[in-house]
Chains A and B, each alone.
Chain A
């Protein structure tokens, strides 16, 4: 990563930070939701880069949200940063267990098995009424940030900055991961698994670690959603939630880490507008948009950004 990209990243971060102060509260809310979901979408993209399509990432999303919810309601832990850590670590712990089984599968079987685990978790959340509140879910009181309580009017803005901070840190870590031997191994697995094994690389290790790391991202996103919405329910673990993540991932494209975040934010905006202007047909609008993108931009919306960048790079070479 050269200095120019760092500069661009910093400018974008500051821009988003500034936007939070200027934009009306409901836009900030949508942005926060977009960023939180963006983390989950990023985790789907990480797995896609290793050649795996997960239809059950919602499991870790819900696990993170519920872990934070329990910590808040039952253990009396109110510190936002500790809650974020609890959510991410719970999701990673769960992934470390499930990963032992699921990383032996590929392609559609990986997808279906991940779907099965998330739906089983959904079943537990619905049925364990005494602990989880069943389909009613749990209300999440506002957390404290660095032991300071958050005023009711400030909650949205504070959550937004929390989400922005999380996203910035995570993007940095993902970048480190992608350029580490582990990240390269995962990408090679996608190209040709058997060859990686013949060359002496551990396919199993690369996929397992990627799976656990991806789950951490999802868990973090789940905690942020819990803070933002102030309420969690089993729907977080339902298959349509996982489907949405894959949907948004392909909407943006998988070639850049910025694409999933951008498309998650865009998706939230489209969704709320579609919901406002076409309350009965907003899903149809989303579906049609998706079909158009698949047929005309198979690499996702990010293809547009890449196209815009290409001539400029050509000039640099000539100069």
Chain B
């Protein structure tokens, strides 16, 4: 019983992290039809900027400790606004409608560039921004001590998901985005400003990636290469959910999070590849993922 509870709790925490790293990727794919390999680097960038800003924030001990959470949030938005628009307008814009292999490799090139840019900007030494993590103290659940920070992570993931849902389904701009997802060409003919939709969605996706990174920063030592592993995890999560579907990303994250937590506690040997196993099984049963619609083959 206790193990079950721990698996559930661990799984939920891991799922919220997975959702944060996956949802931006699936959003970008849904609208731009580009699978962004550099997503992991944007996550890493968010982690670095978050860590640097938090460390700077705590230079002055008189500052309000809980303010550091807003600093993390600011870091994510900052990264999104600085990196998102130039990347989309300068580079990805030229790739729309091209060979998918070329699109993939362009984002792979961006990944390589960003990985080194991070080393140039921030150096190769680790950053420790642990303060926000310990700030909230621990909570005892079923005899196990959990940091409150994990609950905060869950809260951040749920809030981000809910806001995104409201944005897409309840605002005018969101409706336009849905129209573009269904048919970009007809949307343009109807007078929708396609470039604006693209640049906004991409920036939003980058902010989400950076948000995942920024809120991860207090839990880890921020070192070069943290984005490399993230990208394949994010891929797995959104492929399970169905490419282009934020709801799918949530479900995919939940499945992967719970299964991995179960593996860690029950059969630790499986930990590293259980995620890919789940992904393979889901694709076998439902090739297009759980939430995406099957596409008609054209002659």
Contact = CB atoms under 8 A, between A and B. Distances in A.
A246 B100 CA distance: 12
Interface stretch (A75-83, A105-113, A164-172): A105-113
A96 B186 CA distance: 44
Given A105-B283, A194-B297, A280-B124, A126 B104 contact: no
A116 B277 CA distance: 8
A280 B119 CA distance: 7
A290 B109 contact: yes
Interface in A80-121: 101, 104-105, 107-109, 111-113, 115-117, 119-121
A240 to B, nearest CB: 7
Contacts of B113: 283-284, 287-288, 291
14 contacts: A53-B101, A101-B280, A115-B235, A116-B236, A116-B239, A116-B276, A119-B276, A127-B269, A192-B299, A280-B120, A284-B113, A286-B109, A291-B91, A291-B110
Given A104-B287, A194-B297, A250-B105, A281 B243 contact: no
A247 B280 CA distance: 25
Which has the most chain B C-beta neighbours within 10 Å: A124, A127, A283? Answer: A283
Q: 4 shortest A-B CB distances, which residue pairs?
A: A123-B273, A123-B272, A287-B112, A284-B116
Contacts of A108: 35, 100, 243
Interface in B75-95: 91, 94
Given A120-B277, A120-B280, A239 B105 contact: no
A283 B112 contact: yes
A287 B102 CA distance: 13
A248 to B, nearest CB: 10
Contact of B116 (A48, A109, A283): A283
B276 A123 contact: yes
B117 interface: yes
Given A286-B112, A287-B109, A124 B101 contact: no
A243 interface: yes
B104 A124 contact: no
Given A287-B111, A290-B105, A119 B273 contact: yes
Contacts, number: 126
Contacts of B31: none
B57 interface: no
A294 B120 CA distance: 25
Contacts of A195: 299
A124 B273 CA distance: 7
Contacts of A133: none
A223 to B, nearest CB: 24
Nearest to B110: A287
Given A243-B37, A294-B105, 12 more contacts: A53-B101, A109-B288, A112-B279, A113-B279, A116-B280, A120-B277, A239-B231, A250-B101, A280-B120, A283-B115, A290-B106, A298-B102
Contacts of B156: none
A53 B277 CA distance: 21
A6 interface: no
Interface string A290-301: 110011001000
Contacts of A104: 287
Nearest to A239: B232
Interface in A108-157: 108-109, 111-113, 115-117, 119-124, 126-127
A246 B276 contact: no
Given A116-B276, A246-B104, A282 B116 contact: yes
A309 B272 CA distance: 50
B106 A294 contact: yes
B221 interface: no
B168 interface: no
Nearest to A193: B297
Which has the most chain A C-beta neighbours within 10 Å: B112, B277, B297? Answer: B112
Contacts of A298: 98, 102
Nearest to B239: A112
B259 interface: no
B279 A116 contact: yes
B284 interface: yes
Contact of A280 (B116, B228, B276): B116
B108 interface: yes
A189 to B, nearest CB: 13
Contacts of B116: 280-284, 287
B108 A113 contact: no
Contacts of A107: 100
Interface in B113-154: 113, 115-117, 119-120, 124
A28 to B, nearest CB: 27
Nearest to B119: A280
Interface string A228-248: 000000000001100100110
A127 B272 contact: yes
B283 A109 contact: yes
A86 to B, nearest CB: 24
